[in-house]
């Protein structure tokens, strides 16, 4: 087995507990990995500015893969773009209209800013959890151009999100559409996947797939898991993700990330 040189990890439900906190063990483990010159990279559906706060909190200087893989930026003062994919403008407009007809709340991401048409319980809960600001404006009044991602949210009806996710996948097979939590459905460019983000990192660092460990917990991590030489699913992961993983570790609440690092990396 090749020596692992890069760990590509999801954030929420993988290293970050459901209460939005890190355990001391996870923080110490990431510091140990970095000290051994093992690159730890965050690969997330979050927007870049939200993920950067997490990276800075963990003392990571590695590039950040955000928006499911739609944006890869280095974590320097310049924040250079390494890779980016936008939803085609016409498709973004079509998706927005589709969601309005479906009467579902959506977050719209443009230039790494969050836009919503109304401030409601979903907006407050989402922005509060991610500690990010948001702009309230009619989407008819902004230029729908270079959209990073569109996110459907319904914290009260997981079945509705499951249904809409499947329907969107049928109606827009040319886009990457996936459930990232029970209450979120993400819409991105076809080449905006966590797997593509990892491939970009392999080229960036000049390493091979066998030298990468990937770890996550939900269906949007399936491409992430497949992209690693060792793919690890959290104990709290979906059955779909566990079925494609090489190994299933403990839950996020029981430091599953740390246990996987001790087994395969440290």
Report the chain's mean pLDDT, rounded to a whole number: 96
* Token pair in block for residue 147: 């959209």
Query: What domains are defined for the chain?
Result: 6-84+192-264 (3.40.50.1000), 89-188 (3.30.1240.10)
pLDDT at site 128: 87
pLDDT at site 72: 97
Percent of the chain predicted with pLDDT > 90: 94
pLDDT band at residue 1, thresholds of 50, 70 and 90?
A: low
pTM score, two decimals? 0.93
pLDDT at site 141: 96
pLDDT at site 225: 97
What is the enclosing helix (H) or strand (E) of 259?
helix 256-264
Q: What are the pLDDT digits (tens) for 136-145? A: 999 999 999 9
Q: What are the pLDDT digits (tens) for 74-94? A: 999 899 999 999 999 999 999
Q: What are the pLDDT digits (tens) for 147-201? A: 999 999 999 999 999 999 999 999 999 999 999 999 999 999 999 999 999 999 9
Q: How far apart are CA 208 and CA 9, in angstroms?
A: 17
Residue 176 burial by Cβ neighbours in a 10 Å radius (0-12, 13-18, 19+): buried
* Token pair in block for residue 170: 């049928």
pLDDT at site 6: 98
């Amino acid at each position: 087995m090749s020596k692992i040189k890069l760990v590509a990890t999801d954030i929420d439900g993988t290293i970050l507990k459901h209460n939005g906190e890190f355990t001391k063990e996870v923080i110490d483990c990431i510091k140990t990995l970095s000290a051994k010159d093992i690159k730890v990279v965050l690969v997330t559906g979050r927007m870049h500015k939200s993920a950067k706060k997490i990276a800075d909190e963990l003392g990571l200087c590695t590039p950040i893969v955000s928006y499911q893989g739609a944006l890869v930026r280095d974590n320097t003062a310049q924040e250079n773009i390494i890779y980016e994919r936008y939803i085609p403008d016409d498709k973004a407009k079509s998706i927005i209209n589709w969601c309005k007809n479906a009467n579902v709340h959506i977050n719209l991401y443009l230039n790494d800013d969050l836009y919503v048409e109304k401030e409601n319980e979903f907006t407050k809960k989402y922005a509060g959890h991610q500690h990010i600001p948001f702009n309230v404006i009619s989407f008819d009044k902004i230029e729908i151009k270079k959209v990073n991602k569109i996110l459907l949210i319904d914290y009260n009806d997981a079945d509705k999100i499951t249904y809409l996710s499947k329907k969107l996948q049928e109606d827009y097979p040319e886009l990457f559409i996936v459930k990232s939590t029970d209450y979120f459905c993400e819409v991105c460019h076809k080449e905006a996947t966590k797997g593509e983000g990892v491939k970009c990192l392999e080229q960036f660092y000049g390493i091979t797939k066998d030298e990468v460990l990937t770890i996550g917990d939900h269906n949007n991590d399936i491409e992430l898991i497949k992209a690693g030489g060792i793919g690890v699913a959290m104990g709290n992961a979906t059955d779909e993700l566990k079925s494609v993983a090489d190994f299933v570790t403990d839950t996020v609440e029981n430091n599953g990330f740390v246990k996987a690092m001790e087994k395969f990396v440290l």
